[in-house]
Chains A and B, each alone.
Chain A
């Protein structure tokens, strides 16, 4: 069974540019999460989807971040415009019940 898939694995952009990350969860997992992990820290939740509905987006900086999961399967997270402080690893996870399975992450570097 394929795990959570994310792309790209690495992204380097200049500040003020837009960037998008894509995630395909494990087949059949209704819940999808986007996390941000800064160096030396644990993952911090940005947004959680139940099917196509965002049920917890209270920690998403909505002035520059947006996300969608239109058909309740794969999802895209966008940052526009990116700032230096957005450099981090963006992790996607999915779950059927409590256990969350993480993808490999996208390492974003903003110059």
Chain B
């Protein structure tokens, strides 16, 4: 199967509500988990990352939680705003050589 899977593929939320995107990975040796935001026609930009020795990390309206036992991590966006509309990619290092494997992305649409 895929090294990294994201669910759901598309998420629509009302402005002000929260959005949660879940990512699962297969390599138990993965130790670094970034989330990238990519607006249409733009480059991916890191918004938050977490390492395997931490369970949760927060930066203003964005948080990431990691469950190593279940091998999944989630991105939480609170008080969503229209400018949060974008494609969000999760990634995980593949243990052997620290190669980043990306998921296929989640399209988040914030409805004003």
A interface residues with partner B (beta carbon < 8 Å): 40-45, 48, 55-56, 91, 98-105
B91 interface hit (Cβ, 8 Å): yes
Across the interface, do B43 and A91 meet the contact criterion of CB distance under 8 Å?
A: yes
B44 interface hit (Cβ, 8 Å): yes
**What are the 3 tightest A-B residue pairs by CB atom distance, in nearest-first order?**
A42-B102, A102-B43, A42-B89
Whole-angstrom distance from the CB of B70 to the nearest CB of chain A? 21
Residues of B within 8 A of A43 (CB): 44, 89, 102
Interface residue tally of chain B, by bracket? 20 to 34
Return the contact of B44 from the options A44, A48, A102 (Cβ within 8 A): A102
Whole-angstrom distance from the CB of A11 to the nearest CB of chain B? 15
| Known contacts A56-B97, A56-B99; is-contact A40 B104 (Cβ 8 Å) | yes
A-B contact pairs, 6 of them (CB 8 A): A43-B102, A55-B97, A98-B32, A101-B46, A102-B36, A102-B45
Which chain A residue lies CB-closest to B36? A102
Across the interface, do B99 and A48 meet the contact criterion of CB distance under 8 Å?
A: yes
Across the interface, do A41 and B43 meet the contact criterion of CB distance under 8 Å?
A: no
Residues of A within 8 A of B91 (CB): 42
Whole-angstrom distance from the CB of A87 to the nearest CB of chain B? 16
Across the interface, do B105 and A98 meet the contact criterion of CB distance under 8 Å?
A: no
Return the contact of A42 from the options B45, B49, B51, B105 (Cβ within 8 A): B105
Could you list 8 further interchain pairs (A-B, Cβ under 8 angstroms) beyond the known A98-B51, A100-B34? Answer: A40-B104, A40-B105, A42-B4, A44-B102, A45-B99, A48-B99, A91-B44, A99-B46
Residues of B within 8 A of A100 (CB): 34, 46, 100
Interface residues of B in 46-66 (CB under 8 A from A): 46, 49, 51
